[in-house]
Structure 1
Amino acid sequence: MSLVELIGQADERGLAASGLACLDRCVPLLGGDDEVLRPLWAGLAEDAGAAEWGERLEQVRGKLGGEFGAADGGGGEPDAGGSGDFSGSGSGSGFGSGEDEAVLLARRMLAAAPVERSAAGVRVWADACSVAALRIHGLLDPLTGAGDSVDARREGRTEGMSPLVAAELRRQITVLELLAGHGPAGLRPALEVSTEGRRVLRAVVSRRSRRRG
């Protein structure tokens, strides 16, 4: 089953976990530590209500600092029509480097997280986070082909993927399969999958920083 199909069939918890896992793997771009999103993971495990999710989300945003939403160049919210893509250039001003764009996409993922955790809201967010996370990994992977299509990858056409993008796609699919197959019991292994991906991305960011230095 393709990633697009898995997102289309996921329930609210699975969607929230999918979006949260994408964001968790990209935390190194936001300057956050490995525990910064744990309150949100715990809220899913505890089946905390929508209000508590919103409170924990605002606390996370406060810890990561910065202004979110329109100040990040527009597109702080997913498209109202549910297109699942907030990763366009928005202001059209351009980016200084692939890593600059990757940071902006990660900030938009956090900015777009719905304070009210409704099924409709988290579906749009999870889909948008999926697109953004794949684009982030493509931007940071020097082996990404110029014609690499995120939409094609999400629909199951995976020939010729770069290693970093391929690994991110596998993780996204695995998280959704774990939640679909095991319900709340799938959260812990989903978090482990996300933690592995975060370590990989942190290493990639560190290597790029050393090369610049």
Structure 2
Amino acid sequence: MSKRHSAKYKIDRRLGVNLWGRAKSPLNKREYGPGQHGQRRKKPSDYGVQLMAKQKLKGYYGNISEKQFRKYYAEAVRRKGDTSENLIGILERRLDAVLYRMKFVPTVFASRQVVNHGHVRVNGKRVNIASYMIKEGDVVSIRDKSKEMPLIVEAATSSERDVPDYLDVDAKELKGTFVRTPKLADVPYPVQMEPNLVVEFYSR
């Protein structure tokens, strides 16, 4: 279970955005930060803007630690091509992110829990590590015994989100194929993500 599960909507308010685009977000009612000083927002510095971009991206994918996120950044730099695009591609290949994109779970926090509890198969084998990296062509599925879980059934039939086109999903069978690694423009973020600012933050 994510340490941030109970506080996920505080993340919305602290960052000042409805990060997951959910109707339940308290930001829909109060567009200011939590705490007694939440309403006193001042214009952030360049560093503050870059930090905010990093916190948004880290927060969106659940509870990625700073150590893990830095590792992803280092891997993105090491690869050929645009570092910011590489970073998005790496984050979208996490098993918990793929499961969330396939609409088998309602939130990224629930995704981590479902993976950790052994309800997920990758190419027919049980994988219980949320940060497991999915490769192009991998088939992700919910194990047969878990297909009737209310949380999974509700998410799969929800019309709140659409499945992006870099995934091929069979909603009835609760399985899907990771067709290709997406670019930033392919990912259906409810808010604007700025991985280029994250790159600037780490390369200072």
Give the TM-score taking structure 2 as reference length: 0.29
Which structure has the bigger radius of gyration? 2
Higher relative contact order (CA 8 A, sep 6+): 1
Higher percent of residues as helix: 1
TM-score (norm 1): 0.28
Report the structure, 1 or 2, having the larger strand content. 2
